[in-house]
C-alpha cells in the first residue's frame, strides 16, 4: 500500500470545503506546461482535487483525463466540471505509452518517500516517447505530517533528483523552487519538477 489512509480520509472529510476554496483557480505553472505540449495532446491529471486545473485545460480544448485518489473529491469535482473524474490511486496507475503529458500538481507530495521512485516509474511508463511530466512538492528535510495530519514526503532538491533518476531515463529533469501557500494557509516553499521522457 503506497497511499496514506489518514491523508485520504482528510480529503474525504474536507472535500466540499476544498472544492469551494479552489473553484475557479488554476496552478501558476499550468499555462507554461500546456505551451510545451503538442497540439491535440492527451493529458492525464493525477490528484485533480477541486478541478481548477482541469477546468482550465478543458477551456483550452485539451484532451484531459482527470483523476483523484479520493472518491468523494472525484465525485464533487465531476459535478463542478460536468465531466467524469476517475478514482485512481497512484499505485494503481498501470497504463503504458497512453499520454503526451501527465499533470500532477501538489499531489505526489503525499507519496511515501520510499515509494516515490516506483510511482514516478509508473508515470514514465504511462507517457509516450517525448512526453512531458509536471509535479510539485513541498520542500523540506524529510517526511512528516502537517498540522492537519496529512502525510508529506518533504524532499530536498537532492532527494528529488535521485528519485527521478532512479525512475528514468528522462531526456531532461528541471527543478525550480518558488514561494507559495496551500490549503493550510501556511507560507510554503515549493519545488516544481518538469521531466521529459526520453524519445528513444
Say if residue 110's pLDDT is above 90: yes
Q: Determine the pLDDT at residue 51.
A: 93
Average pLDDT over residues 25-46: 95
Tell me the three state secondary structure of residue 137: strand
**Percent over 70 (pLDDT), the chain:** 98
126-144 confidence digits (pLDDT tens): 999 999 999 999 999 999 9
**Cell, residue 120:** 514516478
Residue 80: name the closest of 15, 136, 27 by CA. 15
Q: Lowest-confidence range among 25-29, 77-81, 108-112?
A: 25-29
**Cell, residue 111:** 507519496
Q: Determine the pLDDT at residue 66.
A: 98
Q: Determine the pLDDT at residue 166.
A: 97
If you average pLDDT over every residue of the chain, what do you get? 93
Average pLDDT over residues 74-103: 96
What is the C-alpha separation between 159 and 137, in angstroms, rounded?
12
Q: Determine the pLDDT at residue 184.
A: 67
Please check whether residue 173 is in contact with residue 193, taking contact to mean a CB–CB distance below 8 angstroms: yes
Residue 95: name the closest of 123, 135, 115 by CA. 123
Say if residue 23's pLDDT is above 90: no
5-197 under CATH 3.50.50.60, yes or no? no
Average pLDDT over residues 22-36: 91
Dihedral angle sign, alpha carbons of residues 180, 185, 187, 192: negative
Residue 48: name the closest of 2, 86, 95 by CA. 86
Residue 47: name the closest of 14, 78, 76, 88 by CA. 88
Residue 103 — very low, low, confident or very high, per pLDDT cuts 50/70/90?
A: very high
**Percent over 90 (pLDDT), the chain:** 85
Query: What pTM did the predictor assign?
Result: 0.96
Q: Determine the pLDDT at residue 62.
A: 96
Q: Determine the pLDDT at residue 25.
A: 83
Say if residue 1's pLDDT is above 90: no
Cα angle 55, 50, 20; round to 5: 110
pLDDT greater at residue 4 or residue 191: 191
What is the C-alpha separation between 95 and 116, in angstroms, rounded?
17
Domain boundaries, the chain: 5-197
Amino acid at each position: 500500500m503506497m497511499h496514506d489512509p489518514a491523508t485520504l480520509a482528510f480529503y474525504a472529510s474536507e472535500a466540499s470545503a476544498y472544492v469551494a476554496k479552489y473553484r475557479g483557480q488554476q496552478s501558476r505553472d499550468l499555462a507554461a506546461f500546456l505551451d510545451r505540449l503538442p497540439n491535440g495532446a492527451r493529458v492525464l491529471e493525477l490528484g485533480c482535487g477541486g478541478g481548477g486545473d482541469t477546468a482550465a485545460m478543458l477551456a483550452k480544448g485539451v484532451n484531459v483525463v482527470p483523476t483523484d485518489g479520493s472518491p468523494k473529491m472525484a465525485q464533487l469535482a465531476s459535478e463542478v466540471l460536468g465531466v467524469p473524474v476517475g478514482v485512481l490511486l497512484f499505485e494503481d496507475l498501470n497504463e503504458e505509452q497512453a499520454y503526451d503529458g501527465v499533470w500532477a500538481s501538489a499531489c505526489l507530495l503525499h507519496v511515501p518517500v520510499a515509494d516515490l521512485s516506483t510511482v514516478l516509474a509508473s508515470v514514465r511508463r504511462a507517457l509516450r516517447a517525448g512526453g512531458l511530466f509536471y509535479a510539485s512538492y513541498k520542500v523540506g528535510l524529510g517526511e512528516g505530517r502537517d498540522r492537519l495530519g496529512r502525510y508529506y514526503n518533504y524532499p530536498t532538491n537532492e532527494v528529488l533528483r535521485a528519485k527521478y533518476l532512479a525512475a528514468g531515463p528522462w531526456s531532461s529533469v528541471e527543478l525550480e523552487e518558488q514561494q507559495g501557500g496551500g490549503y493550510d494557509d501556511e507560507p510554503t516553499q515549493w519545488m516544481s519538477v518538469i521531466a521529459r521522457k526520453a524519445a528513444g
